Structure 1
Amino acid sequence: MNTRFLETLVVLSRVGSFRETAQVLNATQAAISQRIASLEDELGVDLVERSSRRLELTAAGEQVVRQAQRILELERALVASTRPEAPPAGRVRIGVIESVVRTWLSPLVQQLARRHPQIDLDITVDTARNLQEQLRQHKLDVMVQNDPYAPAVGTLDHRVTPLCEFPLNWIARPELVRRHGRLTLDDLESVPLLTFSRTSSPQAHVRALFADRQVEPRVCNFPSVESIIQLVRDGYGIAAIPPVFVREWLHGGELEQRAGPVLPAMTVTAISAADASPAVRAAQQLTAEVVRAYCAQQGAPWVRSLAEPFDDQQMLSPG
């Protein structure tokens, strides 16, 4: 039996369409359909319910998927056992939020190239919500982001590595708001508030501050960190972002941190499937190492490391 066909069925069961399965496996849709048809001929049962408008597995298909997952896991273990000293190799698709791009993505890419030259790195930058959907559809191998990921809570299906914690502070040009005392909600209602995308946790935390207020705050949402920084430097509004993003302008006096209503820190984690390949595990392990080094270099007031030495036997879940 061709294990590639079994892998195709497993991916199909997860993403729910022939088209997306073809994208995940870098094949044509016709090739995916042929693999499933060949598997059905070999097993003598229908695996996919083709009369339904929405792709669904038959009862036999669901049973085969469960067995196929075990077979594929055994195959990976067998290959690894015969080549215990082989360096991690293969394509690793890592999805990151833009906050990572502004901080430690470059050191990570450089370290991966130096330590694991046989890993072919594929980087995607997107919002946390979009990255979560891509991980769910198996279009990513590792997701690095700051929002809760429900499928990883309370299960052993995912490996979750806490990485770091970015404090969120109010950042503005000195002349934009009164200089004395803490910022109040009245102060924040008087100017646009700049923060991350509409679906992000920081945006939700900013809006939650005004839940009992009569005035709706002017919250401007941007998926681009660069846009937020440029607007706050232009004096357009007050930003709720990690101060490390604008460290140079804070030191130069162009921007300043202002005490005010407290916002929860951004907790960044790396998440992958528990049965990920050695290359994916190596990339996740090195990510934790790079983040620890970055946090040590920047210092605790700017970012706090949560990364511990990677334990390949331990499956963590957030919280």
Structure 2
Amino acid sequence: MDILHLTYFLEVARQKSFTKASQMLHVSQPSISKVIKTLENELGVTLLERSGREVELTDAGEAVFKRVQRVVVEFKNLASELSDVIDLKRGELTIGLPPMIGSRFFPKPIAQFRQAYPLIHLKLIEEGAKQIELAVQDGTLDLGVVALPATRDDFETFAFVNEPLRVVLYHDHPLAQSASLTLAMLSNESFVLYREDFSLFDHILRQCQLNGFMPRIACQSSQWDFIVEMVGAKLGIALLPETICKELDPQRFVTIPMNDPIIPWNLAIIWKKDRYISFAAREWLRLTKNYFSKQI
């Protein structure tokens, strides 16, 4: 048993698929299957069961999975510390960015980081905020970007955006002349919403429930432009951040502030508390804090 065997096992368990794990690890599927079989023989237990197209953990696999996660994270921490000592400008940094956020806020910080540290491999993973939180928690990601509040309290955070959501309507919508809107006034509308793996999806649904209704969902997406075009096609309304609303064509869309409730859009970089922060991660945080402080 070695750390590579454990890493393969973790990836198969996370992906619930030998094929997907093979793609993520860039290792052939037969090699991964052989490693898992060797690991099972060494431990004397069955770790994984194939159930249809998916792979499921056995009870023994669940127990090993929990332990192995900590072992691999500690090994990565040790490797990062040694890397910092040996060569302060090499390494790898893995960051989770929601699709709607990464392309809008991070091209310039990414370019600055690559210019400053060309030998550090910057790996960007596009996921929804919920998956990013889980990946930062288990050590798969070094850092992630999410909409606050996070679902867990064991993260350190650096907030860099704080603005309200606005209602986006097609230009001749009956409510288009309103000075402001309440969520209750939208109870009979169809909504174009974010995907379920985005934290704003849960946040908006919770606010709708508090106002006495469940939104009628016309469609969902992870992309701003698709959401906006669905509104333009009169399929429904949307709730989008001010940053996005400022860029919309006023000939096609009307954006109106909400006053009851005001739904905030607070973005932050998160990392795990009490975990070693590598030189690459520290420099990324320093650079992005400096960049966003100049944008205020």
Quote the Cα distance in structure 2 between the aligned partners of 1:59 and 1:210.
39
Equivalent residue number for residue 186 of structure 2? 188
CA contact (8 A) 1:171 1:258 kept: no
Equivalent residue number for residue 141 of structure 2? 140
Q: 1:199 to 1:147 in 2, by over 3 A?
A: farther
Equivalent residue number for residue 301 of structure 1? none
Equivalent residue number for residue 241 of structure 2? 242
Point out the more displaced range, 115-124 or 210-219.
Answer: 210-219
Quote the Cα distance in structure 2 between the aligned partners of 1:32 and 1:211.
46
Q: 1:28 to 1:161 in 2, by over 3 A?
A: farther
Equivalent residue number for residue 153 of structure 1? 153
Equivalent residue number for residue 164 of structure 2? 167
**CA shift at 1:33, angstroms?**
6.8
Q: How many residues in Structure 1 have an aligned counterpart in Structure 2?
A: 281
**CA shift at 1:248, angstroms?**
3.0
Equivalent residue number for residue 225 of structure 2? 226
Q: Which amino acid aligns with 1:198?
A: E
Q: 1:63 to 1:238 in 2, by over 3 A?
A: closer
Q: 1:102 to 1:168 in 2, by over 3 A?
A: farther
Q: TM-score, structure 2 length as denominator? A: 0.71
Q: Which runs of 5+ in 1 are unaligned?
A: 297-319
1:81 aligns with 2:85: yes
Q: Deviations over 1:257-289 (max 9, x none)?
A: 244432431222223352353223323433333
Q: Which runs of 5+ in 2 are unaligned?
A: 50-56
Instruction: Say which SS state the counterpart of residue 276 (structure 2) adopts.
Output: coil
Quote the Cα distance in structure 1 between the aligned partners of 2:200 and 2:68.
42
Quote the Cα distance in structure 2 between the aligned partners of 1:166 and 1:180.
20
The correspondence of residues 278-317 of structure 1 with structure 2, limited to 5 A, is 278-294=279-295, 296=296
Q: Which amino acid aligns with 1:50?
A: T
Equivalent residue number for residue 312 of structure 1? none
Q: Which amino acid aligns with 2:153?
A: V
RMSD over aligned CA atoms reads: 4.1
Equivalent residue number for residue 201 of structure 1? 199
Which structure: greater strand fraction?
Answer: 2
**CA shift at 1:95, angstroms?**
1.9
**CA shift at 1:23, angstroms?**
5.6
